[in-house]
Chain A
Amino acid sequence: MVESARLLDDREHRELDRKREMEQSYDAEKLAETMRQRYGNRRIAKQFGDSVIVPKRLLMPSVEDPSIWGVRCKEGKEREVVFSIMKRIEERRGTKDQLGITAAFERGGLESAMKGYVYVEAYRSNDVMLALDGMLNVYPRSKMVLVEIKEMPSLLHITKTETLHPGAYVRIRRPAKHAGDLAQVLDVTENGLEARVRFVPRIDYTVAEKQADGKRKRPGTYRPPQRLFNEAEARKRGSRQITGNPQTNVWQYNGEEFENGFQVKEIKIQNLQIKDVTPGLDEVTLFVTEGEDGTENLDLKALAASLRSSKSNVTYMSGDVIEVYEGEQKGVVGKAVNVQGDIVTLRVIEGELRGQTIDVPNKGLRKRFKTGDHVKVIGGSRYRDEVGMVVKIVEDRVTFLTDQTNTEVTVFSKDLREADDIGGQGSLGQYSLLDLVQLDATTVGCIVKVDHESFVVLDQNGDVRQVMPSQITNVIPKRKTAVATDRNGSEVRLDDVVREVGGQHRQGKIIHIYRSYVYLRSNSSNENAGVFVTRTSNVATVAAKGGRINAAAGPDLNAMNPSLMRNPKANGSMPPPKVFGRDKTIGQTVTIRKGGYKGLLGIVKDATDTHCRVELHTKSKIVNVPKTDLTFKDKVTGRVIDINSRGGFGGGRGGGSAGFGGRSGHGGSGGSGWDGSRTPSLPGGLAGSRTPAWGPPKSSGAYTPAWNRNPDTSGSRTPAWNSGSRTVNPYDGNRTAYGGATSYGGSTAYGGTGGSRDPAWSMGSKTPAPDSHGVGSRTPAPGNYGGSDAWGSGSKTPAYGASAPTPGASDAWGYNAGISGTSDAYGAPTPGAGLSAPTPAALNAPTPGSYPTAPTPAAISAPTPGGGWAGGWGGADSAPTPAAGAPTPGATGGYYGAPTPAAYGAPETPAAGPRYDDDD
């Protein structure tokens, strides 16, 4: 267009020159003659040539000229009014009523500011009244505005319609079905009056059917959604209407033409909206053509062209450097000092006019930038809010390098302004840069770029994709507590600095943890805003925020300190014996108190000094957890137990071991071990009252109650203990125990045994309870008990006397053992222990030393088994086993029948208690 305008311009100049030559060569008369010859025979256009050379500014209206009145008329009827006026002019021409008006015109139109008016040119307003009197749709009486002379030219001001170029985007006005839809110009007819456009059709494939039905389609009620043409569907519904070529993907359907799914149609320019199209990015993406290589090919040039014609006129602000590129002041460069409406006041900063202040209309202005300016995109460009440095300027197109992405972007200077901030926007709607967002059920992504209407996200698989806000389900809130473990098993949290182990060894700060993925951000890379994603198993901690202790850095010294592990109740003076044997935590039911697995229930499968490997109940997974983070729970009741305090007491251990048939030996031994070591000190160091307690310890095996804790919880124990410690009144103690042991008829029997063995025995034999215990069979056990009593009473001579029986007992044991030869499996240790003092000693590594030392210990050791037994009875599975071995199945049944744990706690204790008491 510019080109053709220039040509025209040239032509005019040439024409002018020619004319001047002519005027010079002919004198005026000759000229007149020539003119007459040339134009004389013509009816019209006598001044044809002249009018051209008269510039418009010489045509400005003067007072001599007729005035113009604006007259209200019905909107949309302007044309009709003008024709009516024309009709009246012609009707009355040559009559006495000839109209006094010289012209009438309208400037109606949908977007015109002058709609609803017709303008009538006449010398007198009365002429206007006469001309319009009685005419339809025009109201000369209501309102008539005299147009000022200087405003008259602007009434007739016309602007050139934007010419359409192929690729440009337009909006369709008509047909109404597509009104408002975006279309892309494919081609423009030569006279520029029609355009071939393509757009996403709105096809109702069922229409063909309906028409076939003979029903008339009711127009206007239903507007099918925009969808690309689908040949298969069209065929399905009405194969007759469709013709076309599958190769080129060109179809005719119901008289419409479709190419590649788009509808192609010739539409008159006036039915297209060319200005202010402002295509949205989502609309434009409909037109994205996929290249042969599958890449998306968005014609940004066309988009830019469409946006360029946007009405959102340039807004100038004072301080902007502006260049006038059109009109009289062309070439002037100045700085805006004031902007009022369409008028920009410039202080000229370059050239001859420098220093002057001029007013210019904002049309024909453009902002001027220099290379190196830091600019920000404003206005309707899709690059809105990008900030960058200008690298190239061509006319009004400015290319700059964005700060964020380091890419070159070309926009119109009107969409730019000098930027005083850096970076650009970080958010769009509720989403902002670096947010972790849910894309679909299985995909999340981190926003690494916020565009005008879309985001670029980095999904967990490391793919970068562009999404619309509508494609985002929600933001995944940042969890401050999110924890993951890195490759070394160290805990990593948000804001920790980690490094990739493989790959590029990138290092970054954790900004998101999502399942097994971490999003890291580093400042060393610009790609994706420095964000990258990797698996937690692929990173190693470089620095943990706040200097958190790194689990891998070293063992937990607290956990290693046995004195801290021990029952704090234990006397400070007591040397912390080393703990040997199986870790007592193994097999315990625990809950995790801290960390990522917090709250989960599990069983300890293995343990080190500091850590347990816990098999989770929830999923079959074994995790490593510091012992300090575990809470030990009773397997059955789920109550919290204190495993450490138990550990402090041999009994506890015994008990602990009691829990396990096999362990009873251990436990017993352990217990005895403890006891063993302690025992010596007991007499001296501990109150006499304790001694018995100790006695019980075996019983403690008995202490099983401590055990019981496990199964039972302390409730039952306490009495047991009490009873133990209360030895003072053995009977009572027993009873107490009984009380506690209610369920243990058998234990009662024991108690009885404690009281007096015989009865106990008899009891044992007689009492069904004993039976249930298998006590009947245990008779030997009683013997044991006796023995154990002896034990318990170990210190007590009578008990010793009783000890005689001990052997018996041991026999009994032996018996048991014999019986339980099979039962070894169960309580191999126990019987062993029962059988011979040494054996237990053997069992208890530590114990031995102590054992030999005093008979008591021996006694103890003996009892240990006894205790074991007792415990066994109650608790030690081993006990039952032999018992079981002992014929009474019923007993066994009884045993088992009684909840073993309960059996443990209750029976033992009482049993133990009684014995001792008895002995006492």
Chain B
Amino acid sequence: MSNTPNFVAPGQQRWLRACMVCSVVMTRSRFLQEGCPNCDEFLHLRGSSESVDSCTSQVFEGLIALADPQKSWVARWQRLDGYVSGVYATKVSGTLPDEVRRDMEDENRIYIPRDGSQTEAD
């Protein structure tokens, strides 16, 4: 693995997907190999093609290259502070499967929908 893991060449960008929980954007194969860097604990994407399909979305908008999640206001606003540096999306369409959401709730995790449905509410 190179030292620029988050770089995706233009030719590969068609395979990009965004995690519906944290909105991190990676290629499908990387999700499969490494899982979600932020949420794999409970999403268990690594190695599960099915989970990748259901918990990540290829419909997303607005890429964010996050260099310093701690200092960046963008990260804070997007509620990405605390996540790893990398590429994120401003909006991820799609809905997390119900059982995943239930699991998250059970674990006291807050699911922030990334599809724009909740930003205005709070």
* Chain A neighbourhood of B113, CB < 8 A: 8
* Chain A neighbourhood of B54, CB < 8 A: 190-191
Other-chain residue from B74, B76, B120 in contact with A105 (beta carbon distance below 8 A): B74
- B91 in contact (CB, < 8 A): yes
- Shortest CB–CB separation between residue A168 and chain B, in angstroms? 16
Asked if B10 and A80 make an inter-chain contact with CB atoms under 8 angstroms apart, the answer reads yes
* Chain A neighbourhood of B94, CB < 8 A: 191-193
Asked if A44 and B84 make an inter-chain contact with CB atoms under 8 angstroms apart, the answer reads yes
Other-chain residue from A84, A87, A158, A160 in contact with B62 (beta carbon distance below 8 A): A158
Interface string of A78-117 (1 = CB under 8 A from B): 1110111111011101000001011111111100000000
Closest chain B residue to A38 by CB distance? B108
A49 to B61, CA, bound (A): 25
State the majority secondary structure of interface residues on B: loop
Interface string of B38-77 (1 = CB under 8 A from A): 1101000000000000100111011111111001111111
Asked if B84 and A327 make an inter-chain contact with CB atoms under 8 angstroms apart, the answer reads no
Interface string of B1-26 (1 = CB under 8 A from A): 00111111110010000000000000
Asked if A268 and B59 make an inter-chain contact with CB atoms under 8 angstroms apart, the answer reads yes
- Shortest CB–CB separation between residue B45 and chain A, in angstroms? 14
- Shortest CB–CB separation between residue B89 and chain A, in angstroms? 9
Asked if B3 and A91 make an inter-chain contact with CB atoms under 8 angstroms apart, the answer reads yes
- B78 in contact (CB, < 8 A): yes
- A157 in contact (CB, < 8 A): yes
Asked if B120 and A327 make an inter-chain contact with CB atoms under 8 angstroms apart, the answer reads yes
* Chain B neighbourhood of A82, CB < 8 A: 63-65, 87
- B85 in contact (CB, < 8 A): yes
Asked if B73 and A61 make an inter-chain contact with CB atoms under 8 angstroms apart, the answer reads yes
Other-chain residue from A9, A80, A87, A109 in contact with B121 (beta carbon distance below 8 A): A9
* Chain B neighbourhood of A218, CB < 8 A: none
Given A5-B118, A65-B73, A103-B67, the answer on whether A52 and B110 have CB atoms closer than 8 Å is: yes
Residue with the greatest number of chain A CB neighbours at <10 A, chosen from B38, B84, B120: B120
- Shortest CB–CB separation between residue A152 and chain B, in angstroms? 7
- Shortest CB–CB separation between residue B49 and chain A, in angstroms? 14
- Shortest CB–CB separation between residue B86 and chain A, in angstroms? 7
* Chain B neighbourhood of A552, CB < 8 A: none
Other-chain residue from B4, B58, B68, B115 in contact with A103 (beta carbon distance below 8 A): B68
Asked if A89 and B91 make an inter-chain contact with CB atoms under 8 angstroms apart, the answer reads no
A192 to B58, CA, bound (A): 11
Other-chain residue from B72, B85, B110, B120 in contact with A121 (beta carbon distance below 8 A): B72
Asked if A103 and B95 make an inter-chain contact with CB atoms under 8 angstroms apart, the answer reads no
- Shortest CB–CB separation between residue A452 and chain B, in angstroms? 33
- Shortest CB–CB separation between residue A910 and chain B, in angstroms? 112
Closest chain A residue to B115 by CB distance? A160
- A45 in contact (CB, < 8 A): yes
Closest chain B residue to A79 by CB distance? B63
Asked if B13 and A83 make an inter-chain contact with CB atoms under 8 angstroms apart, the answer reads yes
- B34 in contact (CB, < 8 A): no
Asked if A48 and B110 make an inter-chain contact with CB atoms under 8 angstroms apart, the answer reads yes
Other-chain residue from B38, B67, B68, B110 in contact with A44 (beta carbon distance below 8 A): B38
A207 to B94, CA, bound (A): 37
Asked if A161 and B77 make an inter-chain contact with CB atoms under 8 angstroms apart, the answer reads no
**Which residues of chain B in 90-122 are interfacial with respect to chain A, using CB atoms and an 8 Å cutoff?**
90-91, 93-95, 97, 105, 108-113, 115-122
A152 to B77, CA, bound (A): 10
**Which residues of chain A in 262-311 are interfacial with respect to chain B, using CB atoms and an 8 Å cutoff?**
268-270
Closest chain B residue to A53 by CB distance? B110
Other-chain residue from A8, A15, A84, A93 in contact with B108 (beta carbon distance below 8 A): A15
Asked if A102 and B76 make an inter-chain contact with CB atoms under 8 angstroms apart, the answer reads no
Asked if A161 and B116 make an inter-chain contact with CB atoms under 8 angstroms apart, the answer reads yes
Asked if A191 and B110 make an inter-chain contact with CB atoms under 8 angstroms apart, the answer reads no
State the majority secondary structure of interface residues on A: mixed
- Shortest CB–CB separation between residue B117 and chain A, in angstroms? 4
A55 to B77, CA, bound (A): 10
A18 to B90, CA, bound (A): 29
Asked if A90 and B83 make an inter-chain contact with CB atoms under 8 angstroms apart, the answer reads no
A695 to B16, CA, bound (A): 124
A495 to B96, CA, bound (A): 70
Interface string of A715-741 (1 = CB under 8 A from B): 000000000000000000000000000
* Chain A neighbourhood of B65, CB < 8 A: 82-83, 85-86, 89, 103-105
- Shortest CB–CB separation between residue B58 and chain A, in angstroms? 7
Given A49-B110, A86-B87, A192-B94, the answer on whether A153 and B77 have CB atoms closer than 8 Å is: yes
Residue with the greatest number of chain B CB neighbours at <10 A, chosen from A82, A152, A327: A82
Given A12-B110, A61-B77, the answer on whether A105 and B117 have CB atoms closer than 8 Å is: no
Asked if A56 and B5 make an inter-chain contact with CB atoms under 8 angstroms apart, the answer reads no
* Chain B neighbourhood of A44, CB < 8 A: 37-38, 82-84
Asked if B82 and A51 make an inter-chain contact with CB atoms under 8 angstroms apart, the answer reads yes
Given A15-B110, A44-B82, A61-B73, the answer on whether A90 and B6 have CB atoms closer than 8 Å is: yes
A12 to B110, CA, bound (A): 8
Asked if B115 and A161 make an inter-chain contact with CB atoms under 8 angstroms apart, the answer reads yes
- Shortest CB–CB separation between residue B68 and chain A, in angstroms? 4
Asked if B87 and A83 make an inter-chain contact with CB atoms under 8 angstroms apart, the answer reads yes
A9 to B122, CA, bound (A): 10
Asked if A269 and B93 make an inter-chain contact with CB atoms under 8 angstroms apart, the answer reads yes
Asked if A102 and B72 make an inter-chain contact with CB atoms under 8 angstroms apart, the answer reads yes
Closest chain B residue to A105 by CB distance? B64
A153 to B57, CA, bound (A): 24
Closest chain B residue to A45 by CB distance? B82
Asked if A8 and B118 make an inter-chain contact with CB atoms under 8 angstroms apart, the answer reads yes
Asked if A193 and B62 make an inter-chain contact with CB atoms under 8 angstroms apart, the answer reads no
Other-chain residue from B6, B78, B83, B95 in contact with A192 (beta carbon distance below 8 A): B95
Other-chain residue from B7, B10, B38 in contact with A86 (beta carbon distance below 8 A): B7
- A11 in contact (CB, < 8 A): yes
A109 to B62, CA, bound (A): 8
- A46 in contact (CB, < 8 A): yes
A82 to B66, CA, bound (A): 10
* Chain B neighbourhood of A106, CB < 8 A: 62-63
- Shortest CB–CB separation between residue A124 and chain B, in angstroms? 13
Residue with the greatest number of chain A CB neighbours at <10 A, chosen from B8, B67, B112: B67
Given A89-B67, A105-B74, A106-B63, the answer on whether A56 and B81 have CB atoms closer than 8 Å is: no
Asked if A1 and B117 make an inter-chain contact with CB atoms under 8 angstroms apart, the answer reads yes
Given A44-B82, A91-B3, the answer on whether A102 and B68 have CB atoms closer than 8 Å is: yes
Asked if B91 and A45 make an inter-chain contact with CB atoms under 8 angstroms apart, the answer reads no
* Chain A neighbourhood of B66, CB < 8 A: 102-103
- A156 in contact (CB, < 8 A): yes
- A42 in contact (CB, < 8 A): yes
- A47 in contact (CB, < 8 A): yes
- A159 in contact (CB, < 8 A): yes
* Chain A neighbourhood of B13, CB < 8 A: 79-80, 83
Residue with the greatest number of chain A CB neighbours at <10 A, chosen from B73, B77, B110: B73
* Chain A neighbourhood of B71, CB < 8 A: 66, 102
Asked if B59 and A193 make an inter-chain contact with CB atoms under 8 angstroms apart, the answer reads yes
Asked if B108 and A102 make an inter-chain contact with CB atoms under 8 angstroms apart, the answer reads no
Residue with the greatest number of chain B CB neighbours at <10 A, chosen from A103, A157, A190, A327: A103
**Which residues of chain A in 413-456 are interfacial with respect to chain B, using CB atoms and an 8 Å cutoff?**
none
Asked if B74 and A5 make an inter-chain contact with CB atoms under 8 angstroms apart, the answer reads no
Residue with the greatest number of chain B CB neighbours at <10 A, chosen from A46, A48, A152: A48
Asked if B73 and A66 make an inter-chain contact with CB atoms under 8 angstroms apart, the answer reads yes
* Chain B neighbourhood of A28, CB < 8 A: none
- A59 in contact (CB, < 8 A): yes
Given A52-B110, A90-B6, A191-B54, the answer on whether A78 and B63 have CB atoms closer than 8 Å is: yes
Other-chain residue from B58, B67, B79, B91 in contact with A51 (beta carbon distance below 8 A): B79
- Shortest CB–CB separation between residue B66 and chain A, in angstroms? 5
A591 to B121, CA, bound (A): 88
* Chain A neighbourhood of B59, CB < 8 A: 193, 268-270
Q: Could you show 25 A-B contacts with beta carbons less than 8 Å apart?
A: A9-B121, A44-B37, A51-B82, A61-B73, A61-B77, A78-B63, A79-B63, A80-B13, A83-B13, A86-B4, A86-B6, A86-B7, A86-B65, A87-B7, A99-B67, A101-B67, A102-B66, A102-B71, A102-B73, A105-B62, A105-B90, A152-B73, A156-B77, A190-B95, A193-B58
Per CB-CB distance, the 4 closest pairs between chain A and chain B, nearest first, are A87-B7, A52-B110, A65-B73, A102-B72
